[in-house]
């Protein structure tokens, strides 16, 4: 089932992919107060459940299994799922049914059995039946009543009501009833002790819908599950995402840290600062094409490989589209296909969209957490972009997710010998990392082998550029936005003495009056079964 979603890349170094699921009668806007705290370290996917996004009402009754698959289609290949109220139950369902897609699960003001049982606190069954009947009779009036129930126990109920009313909710009655049926029927108590993923359950002291008293039987249920945590938020009601966003965000981060789920790269070496990469290329957008000779040559050669891959794709993803230089070539080759241009750098995307207005899609996104539905593209074209991805297995898992069966990705990347002359010249004068480091082809092959259903063939080719002076190479790298992005790059200005020593060392590579700069380019063809 296609769902409405919003992908927000991390504003800093991404340490986790988070998918946030809202509750009954709400939508993704309930999470907005948390974003300022979460986005410095996490990529965020906000999902609207059926009937909850603004737009035309759809009165079909959604099936729970279809909704879960729709959530997965909007989400990265593996993520932490955090759900509020009904969203918490959906997160538990995902972790139970699709554990390989879930790194951890966190619930907020959520009850594994929403309707009370003899041995379990919750909403009384008669009260729930009355409310369901009210929704069936008059959904708008029932939703207003529900809002009043949600603000019970808060210190500022009027302010919270205003926030709810500003969310632009347009749910359809049948879809509201479907959500109520899930709340009534789901009993996840047996799932939780057997859950293979770390779990965090945050309850609220003054919650009028999910009583804080749930904490006691929940703790007994999970007594033998060391990866499970339960906390009660003091002074907070059911609308915890609006009332206590900072506490929720910090609690989630502490939980993930304790579970060792905040990554810093596949091998513990997050060498590239992705935000710096995005910012640098954004600034370079307007001047990029004036110095991108190598990029054009490599991309043109990559285009020549397409004849042997996809003959008539229906959707083409230009991954790392940059300024949109290859847009025209791809459109000419596949005029009937939907074109999607995606880049990490917002400035590049805005520039490309301005150059190529029309019916194409231009998206800002991370190749390791693509904001695309599963099985939505036939062909991925990516030239000199994925070298900025430091988790190749995540990258290939995402490509496997968005490619349709039989789909293909052709790509180029930079290998570790890129600019070895410049690296050698700097090494002659100090021990700092002055040149970007990139993964070898063997690492890409190993990562692809770890993803079921993928086949990768790679080859390497050297491209040699020549310059009268080193300064021209350095200026070109700066104009391209491809200067040193290593996290451990030296801070401050390089001394004149050090710079002069590097220039002298580089002179040892001069041939026939020119200084070479070698690019180690990896060509890859990735096929999905």
Give the residue numbers annotated as catalytic, written as ranges: 85, 207, 238
The DSSP symbol for 336 reads T
8: left (phi over 0), alpha (psi -120 to 50) or beta: beta
3-state helix, strand, coil in the chain (%, to 5): 40, 20, 35
Give the helix/strand (H/E) hosting 41: none
Helix (H/G/I), strand (E/B), else coil: 293:
helix
Query: Contact 223/255 with Cβ under 8 angstroms?
Result: no
As a whole number of angstroms, the distance between CA 342 and CA 345 comes to 9
Q: Is 372 exposed, middle or buried (0-12, 13-18, 19+ CB in 10 A)?
A: buried
Please give the helix or strand (H or E) that residue 35 lies within, else none. Answer: helix 32-38
CB atoms within 10 A of CB 262: 15
What's the number of CA atoms in the CB half-sphere (13 Å) around residue 441? 17
Longest alpha-carbon distance in the chain = 90
Please report the DSSP string for 406-433 in residue order. EEEEEEEEE-TTTTHHHHHHHHTT-SS-
Instruction: Give long-range contacts, CB 8 A cutoff, 24+ apart: 259-265.
Output: 259/104, 259/198, 259/227, 261/16, 261/80, 261/103, 261/104, 261/198, 262/15, 262/16, 262/41, 263/15, 263/16, 263/391, 264/13, 264/15, 265/390, 265/391
Provide the Cα torsion 412, 509, 470, 489; round to 10°: 60
CA distance 380 to 392: 16
| DSSP state, residue 56 | S
Residue with tokens 């847009």: 327
Distance CA 341, CA 349 (A): 8
């Amino acid at each position: 089932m296609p769902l409405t979603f919003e992908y927000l890349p991390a504003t800093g170094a991404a340490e986790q992919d988070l998918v946030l699921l809202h509750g009954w009668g709400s939508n993704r806007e309930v999470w907005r107060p948390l974003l300022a705290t979460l986005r410095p370290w996490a990529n965020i996917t906000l999902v609207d459940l059926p009937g909850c996004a603004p737009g035309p009402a759809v009165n079909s009754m959604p099936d729970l299994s279809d909704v879960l698959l729709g959530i997965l289609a909007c989400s990265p290949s593996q993520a932490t799922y955090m759900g509020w109220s009904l969203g918490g139950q959906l997160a538990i369902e995902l972790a139970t049914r699709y554990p390989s897609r879930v790194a951890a699960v966190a619930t907020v003001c959520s009850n594994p059995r929403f309707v009370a049982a003899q041995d379990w606190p919750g909403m009384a069954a008669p009260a729930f039946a009355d409310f369901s009947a009210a929704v069936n009779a008059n959904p708008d009036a029932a939703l207003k009543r529900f809002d009043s129930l949600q603000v019970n126990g808060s210190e500022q109920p009027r302010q919270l009501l205003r926030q709810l009313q500003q969310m632009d909710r347009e749910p359809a009655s049948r879809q509201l009833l479907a959500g109520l049926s899930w709340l009534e029927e789901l009993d996840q108590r047996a799932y939780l002790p057997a859950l293979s993923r770390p779990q965090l359950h945050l309850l609220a002291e003054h919650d009028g819908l999910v009583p804080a008293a749930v904490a006691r039987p929940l703790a007994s249920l999970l007594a033998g599950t060391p990866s499970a945590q339960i906390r009660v938020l003091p002074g907070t009601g059911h609308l915890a995402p609006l009332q206590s966003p900072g506490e929720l965000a910090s609690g989630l981060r502490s939980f993930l840290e304790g579970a060792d789920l905040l990554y810093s790269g596949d091998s513990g070496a997050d060498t590239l600062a992705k935000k710096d990469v995005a910012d640098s290329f954004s600034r370079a957008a307007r001047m990029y094409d004036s110095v991108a000779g190598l990029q054009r040559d490599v991309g043109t050669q990559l285009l020549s490989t397409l004849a042997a891959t996809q003959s008539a794709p229906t959707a083409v993803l230009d991954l790392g589209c940059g300024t949109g230089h290859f847009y025209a070539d791809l459109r000419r080759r596949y005029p009937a296909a939907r074109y999607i241009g995606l880049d990490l750098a917002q400035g590049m995307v805005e520039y490309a969209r301005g150059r190529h207005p029309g019916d194409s899609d231009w998206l800002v996104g991370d190749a390791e957490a693509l904001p695309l539905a599963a099985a939505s593209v036939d062909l991925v074209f990516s030239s000199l972009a994925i070298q900025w991805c430091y988790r190749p297995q995540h990258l290939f898992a995402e490509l496997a997710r968005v490619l349709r069966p039989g789909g293909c990705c052709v790509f180029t990347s930079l290998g570790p010998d890129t600019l070895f002359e410049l690296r050698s010249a700097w090494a002659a004068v100090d021990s700092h990392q002055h040149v970007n480091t990139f993964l070898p082809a063997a690492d890409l092959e190993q990562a692809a082998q770890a993803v079921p259903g993928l086949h990768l063939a790679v080859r390497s080719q050297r491209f040699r550029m020549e310059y009268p002076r080193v300064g021209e190479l350095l200026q070109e790298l700066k104009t391209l936005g491809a200067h040193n992005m290593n996290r451990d790059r030296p801070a401050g200005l390089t001394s004149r003495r050090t710079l002069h020593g590097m220039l002298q060392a580089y002179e040892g590579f001069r041939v026939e009056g020119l200084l070479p700069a070698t690019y180690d380019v990896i060509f890859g063809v990735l096929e999905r079964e």
